[in-house]
Structure 1
Amino acid sequence: MHLTSMLFLMIGCLVSGSYAVLKLYSNMIEVVEWEILSLNSCTVIFTLIFDWVSLLFLCFVLLISSSVLYYSGSYMKGDKNFNRFMYLVLMFVFSMAAMVLSPNLISILLGWDGLGLVSYALVIYYQNEKSANAGMLTILSNRVGDVAILLSIALMVKLGGWNFLYYAYNMSDSKWLGFKLLIVLAAMTKSAQIPFSAWLPAAMAAPTPVSALVHSSTLVTAGVYLMIRFSPVLDSSYAQSVLLIISCLTMFMAGLGANFEYDLKKIIALSTLSQLGVMLSILALGFSDLAFFHLLSHALFKALLFMCAGVFIHGVGDYQDIRYMGGLVKFMPYSVMYMSICNFALCGFPFLAGFYSKDMILEVAFMSWVNFVCLWMYVLAVGLTVSYTMRLIFYSMSGEFNLSLLINVKDTNDLMTGSMIMLGLGAVVGGACLSWGLFPEPYMICMSKIMKSLVMMVSVIGGVIGYFCNLLSVNYKLISLKNYFWVVFLGSMWFMPFLSSVKTSDIVMKAGILMEKIGEKGWLEKFGPQGLYWSLARMFVILNEFQMNKVKVFMKMFVLSVLIVLFMYI
């Protein structure tokens, strides 16, 4: 089944990719609409848009999905629910495709909610307590964004439609600030920006092929893609400033947390969170084309990075702690080669996929009007990225193998290693090809020599610091034990998982119980449905008396009472 699905998605990738190139150079847009419901002047329309942005992104989604499905044929081979897993992954891909091809908020909601629902089913796939908790945190965090989309749909009613491409000019003034903030909130929840960052590392409870799909081109990138589509609406607004500050904080926080993490998949998840902060921060500065460029180039090497991590985890007996690895370059040279390419592309090593997009983003950000805090967060995030990458290489690939009893660590699985070829090629030359295709005219970069070389200097310094800190960490004098509070604080993303689960849920549950007592079982009970029920019941009793021909009795009593009142006054 996985081969059929892979071939189907690969054919779709080739068709959408060739169509995207045609649209890019002909500068044409095709919109297909089906009217579902008409309500006064508002019509509910299912809309599909075929322009170079949607088709190119769909091409990358299908390319990565086909590689992941081929990879899953070996990774999930022994699973008894293998077919169910494949159907869930295909539903995930189709939900993302529905969202990518929709310029209409209502049709976007179908793909948006589909991603949330299927992601929950995939996170709880292994059916244990940890997966259940992670799935609940994931779906509840994403529901905040779903509510924001629903409220923005309600606000767009006064425009007479929900196709935001038609109404971008009308929403450029300050009257639509609430709508813009709702869209930013929706993107923040899906892309796991602060304070919704806790669900992204928790979602690593899902199988590794799902993580490769989620972190490269589907779930977390949906928020970035939505912001790219809404970028004309956000031009010069407070929502843009809010997004810039939050994304820079997320970028810095994720890079810092990855340097204290030991779970292989969570380190890669935090690197995704850092890169999402890069995308949204440059988008907040007004460069949506650069954000889209980095979105595509990042998708190639991040999917491959997770696939290599899955091969490592399988090889060392399903351990995910990087301290149990080491010296894998001697046993798995093929996978280590791909892992190294991905790590260097993530750091922005010259002429790999990440270099073309990341270096341009940083240089444009340094040229822009950003405050001092955001500038330093950019600089520190670059250094931290190289630092945790060197840490990952130090623990997993170099040195001696730390599980000497497990000697059967080899690159013998042709399905797993064969699925990496296409993405490995993309991680090497994909950035250059995208740069030539998307930017036929080069950006004009004007900056001093110090600012120009700042990225390279910070990268080298971050790598050296990361390497020497790792040498100290294997010593018997463990500095981390002396500063336990700060290690836990920085390693747990500033206590965000605790705040997102235990404390917040406790406050929310208590507030819900109070509202239930006062509202649902209090005033709403009196004046709501129950009060209306008893009022109508009494009224129907009286009507029943009239229906039973007892009108004469009531009339006699009424006349008698009137006569008594008159007699008393006379």
Structure 2
Amino acid sequence: MLWKITIHLISMLFLMAGCLISGIYAVLKLYSGQAEIIEWEILELNSTSIVFTLIFDWVSLLFICFVFLISSSVLYYSGEYMKEDKSFNRFMYLVLMFVFSMGAMVLSPNLISILLGWDGLGLVSYVLVIYYQNEKSANAGMLTVLSNRVGDVAILLSIGFMIKLGSWNFLFYAYSMSDKEWLGFKFLIILAAMTKSAQIPFSAWLPAAMAAPTPVSALVHSSTLVTAGVYLMIRFSPILESFYTQSWLLIISCLTMFMAGLGANFEYDLKKIIALSTLSQLGVMLSILALGFFDLAFFHLLSHALFKALLFMCAGVFIHGVGDHQDIRYMGCLVKFMPLSVIYMSVCNFALCGFPFLAGFYSKDMILEVAFMSWVNFIALSMYVLAVGLTVSYTMRLIFYSLSGGFNLGLLANMKDSNNLMTISMSLLGTGAIIGGAALSWLLFPEPYMICLSALMKSLVMMVSIIGGVIGYVCNLFSMNHSSLGLSKYFMVVFMGSMWFMPFLSTMKNSYVMMNMGGLMEKIGDKGWLEKFGPQGLYLKLSQLFMILNSFQINKIKVFMKVFILGVLVVMFMGI
């Protein structure tokens, strides 16, 4: 038991120290306007150098500060949550590898060295998703790793695109990439970000990844795996300053946040509801990036990480307390048994909805007002408004089923707030969920944005939030989901509640077709003609040539006589 306590305590202390150091340096870099770049040349071929690069500017340092802060809280929380697990040490090492991969990705401005963290995230996330070894986890892990592999291939193709520049430090070239020459490269980078951040049509893997332990979900869905795509787009924000890329990204992200908000209102799995809320907020970040405001996207990325990690921690406490049930219909009236955890959960929920003066308010309200001022069309504007209403709706539905509502707990439920490890780690992030938004707002935006909106547009968000909250609470109060209306419209309910059939489309017939096509291509290509004219054929020809050269080098008289006679015959033939 001493080793178990030591490993998560030491991890927390080291990560907290890293958080403090990187936070101080981030503030210094922000106000000095400077950045430091460290390069290590690994290989040089002609004029092309493969370089491992690290960048220390205010963006990377501030983000790594938040990654370390949330990781330290999650690791400390895991000391109690996973204490009965037989592979506790392995779990802690995997989470630390996850944090290291994210750090390698965040600190790299080089497209080749960024693969170290990018592929590390994909590999470790697969291992963590299949941590509980059963068929459901195996399927979820396979869906996760294959979906993310599409983005890995896009990054590899992007490296091929950039080879003609002679360097892969994309920060130096992003401003000079025109649509005429670099449109394919831009779409590949956006595709990579879409797969990592689970945008349509790659959204199915994100709720499926809930098969991982809850501390992993708290880390993955707040500041690591799913935010890697958003962070990549923030780094590549100059390439989005074109009509084609902005329009494509805006359409995809608006559809994603609307679809995720709609699906969360029909979901009963507690962790999947929170996962869909993460998906909705990722759509908000990418949509404001598509409008050209990378600083607002980064602001919301940081503030969202604080309360989303805490939201998963509270969900883990509730799941443990009700006998490892994740269905919100098995919960209810938790406020009477776990008042402190319910307070933290309520703070997170209200921050998610953009309640004034909590962490989510400062970033989300500014994003919506800037979006209303921008050039978005009516469809995108409608999706923004509907996504806000749906967020409040599923939040109030979650509060009704789990925190208030009727008593639906089992007889063996052991609900209490007495665990110190979980409470301390939750208190740290709870403080951030309350004051983090205001502190980041003062730090990143010392000069306020100029917002010019009509009275109707200014009050639109508040009106939609109130309407969404009333609908979300009252409809579930009268059990509208179980009424005959829901049964009569069964197809529509299944369609909206299953993320527009994306999990089915991602795992059924098309996957078999793709695997059959892959097997055929492997048989004809990799094991067929490519072998004959590729590595094996080249090996055979080189072996034959080597045998000829070898026979010359061992000084055989027969060989020299043959060569001499052949030379004489050639001379005689030429003379004739």
Q: Secondary structure at the match of 2:41?
A: strand
Aligned to 2:166: 160
Q: Secondary structure at the match of 1:406?
A: coil
Q: Does 1:323 align with 2:313?
A: no
Q: Secondary structure at the match of 1:36?
A: strand
Counterpart code for 2:338: M
* Preserved CA contact (<8 Å) 1:187 1:226: yes
- Work out the CA distance in 2 between the residues paired with 1:315 and 1:409: 5
Worse-superposed segment, 180-189 or 397-406:
397-406
* Preserved CA contact (<8 Å) 1:174 1:237: no
Q: Does 1:84 align with 2:78?
A: no
Q: What does residue range 135-284 of structure 1 map to in structure 2 within 5 Å? A: 135-284=141-290
CA distance 1:375–1:525, change in 2 (3 Å): same
Q: What does residue range 28-43 of structure 1 map to in structure 2 within 5 Å? A: 28-43=34-49
Q: Deviations over 1:140-170 (max 9, x none)?
A: 1111111111111111111111111111232
Q: Secondary structure at the match of 2:49?
A: strand
Aligned to 1:566: none
Q: Does 1:22 align with 2:28?
A: yes
Q: Deviations over 1:325-347 (max 9, x none)?
A: 00000100000000000000000
- Work out the CA distance in 2 between the residues paired with 1:83 and 1:541: 54
- Work out the CA distance in 1 between the residues paired with 2:546 and 2:52: 46
Aligned to 1:387: 393
Identity %: 81
CA distance 1:521–1:446, change in 2 (3 Å): same
Q: Does 1:287 align with 2:293?
A: yes
CA distance 1:542–1:231, change in 2 (3 Å): closer
Cα displacement (A) at 1:514: 2.8
The correspondence for 1:341, drawn from 338, 347, 353, is: 347
Cα displacement (A) at 1:311: 0.3
Counterpart code for 1:309: A
- Work out the CA distance in 2 between the residues paired with 1:118 and 1:188: 19
Aligned to 1:94: 100
- Work out the CA distance in 2 between the residues paired with 1:44 and 1:524: 28
Aligned to 1:369: 375
TM-score, normalised relative to structure 1: 0.93
* Preserved CA contact (<8 Å) 1:315 1:410: yes
CA distance 1:361–1:313, change in 2 (3 Å): same
* Preserved CA contact (<8 Å) 2:352 2:360: yes
Counterpart code for 2:506: S
- Work out the CA distance in 1 between the residues paired with 2:510 and 2:18: 43
CA distance 1:475–1:156, change in 2 (3 Å): closer
Aligned to 1:567: none
The correspondence for 1:378, drawn from 384, 387, 391, is: 384
- Work out the CA distance in 2 between the residues paired with 1:55 and 1:529: 45
Q: Does 1:479 align with 2:488?
A: no
Counterpart code for 2:78: S
After superposing on structure 2, the runs of 4+ consecutive aligned residues of structure 1 that deviate more than 6 Å are 533-548
Cα displacement (A) at 1:35: 1.3
Aligned to 2:574: none
Counterpart code for 1:24: L
- Work out the CA distance in 2 between the residues paired with 1:490 and 1:243: 22
Worse-superposed segment, 6-15 or 507-516:
507-516
* Preserved CA contact (<8 Å) 1:172 1:235: no
- Work out the CA distance in 1 between the residues paired with 2:40 and 2:161: 22
Counterpart code for 1:388: Y
Q: Deviations over 1:461-506 (max 9, x none)?
A: 1111111221232686343222221111111101111111122211
Aligned to 1:565: none
CA distance 1:457–1:525, change in 2 (3 Å): same
The correspondence for 2:111, drawn from 81, 100, 105, is: 105
Worse-superposed segment, 381-390 or 168-177:
168-177
CA distance 1:451–1:526, change in 2 (3 Å): same
Residue-pair matches, total: 561
- Work out the CA distance in 2 between the residues paired with 1:6 and 1:27: 31
- Work out the CA distance in 1 between the residues paired with 2:378 and 2:122: 37
- Work out the CA distance in 2 between the residues paired with 1:542 and 1:57: 61
- Work out the CA distance in 1 between the residues paired with 2:179 and 2:546: 54
Worse-superposed segment, 520-529 or 353-362:
520-529
Worse-superposed segment, 473-482 or 528-537:
528-537
Q: Deviations over 1:255-278 (max 9, x none)?
A: 001011000000000000000000
- Work out the CA distance in 2 between the residues paired with 1:382 and 1:451: 14
TM-score, normalised relative to structure 2: 0.92
Q: Secondary structure at the match of 2:113?
A: helix
Q: Deviations over 1:510-556 (max 9, x none)?
A: 2123324443455446544555667778889999999894987xx99
- Work out the CA distance in 2 between the residues paired with 1:395 and 1:6: 34
* Preserved CA contact (<8 Å) 2:480 2:486: no
Counterpart code for 1:332: M
RMSD over aligned Cα atoms: 2.4
- Work out the CA distance in 1 between the residues paired with 2:91 and 2:477: 41
Q: Deviations over 1:436-485 (max 9, x none)?
A: 11001100000100000000011111111111221232686343222221
- Work out the CA distance in 1 between the residues paired with 2:541 and 2:16: 64
Q: Where do 5+ consecutive residues of structure 1 fail to align?
A: 560-570
Q: What does residue range 431-510 of structure 1 map to in structure 2 within 5 Å? A: 431-473=437-479, 477-510=483-516
- Work out the CA distance in 2 between the residues paired with 1:23 and 1:545: 66
Q: Secondary structure at the match of 2:175?
A: coil
- Work out the CA distance in 2 between the residues paired with 1:531 and 1:298: 55
- Work out the CA distance in 2 between the residues paired with 1:319 and 1:201: 17
- Work out the CA distance in 2 between the residues paired with 1:492 and 1:177: 34
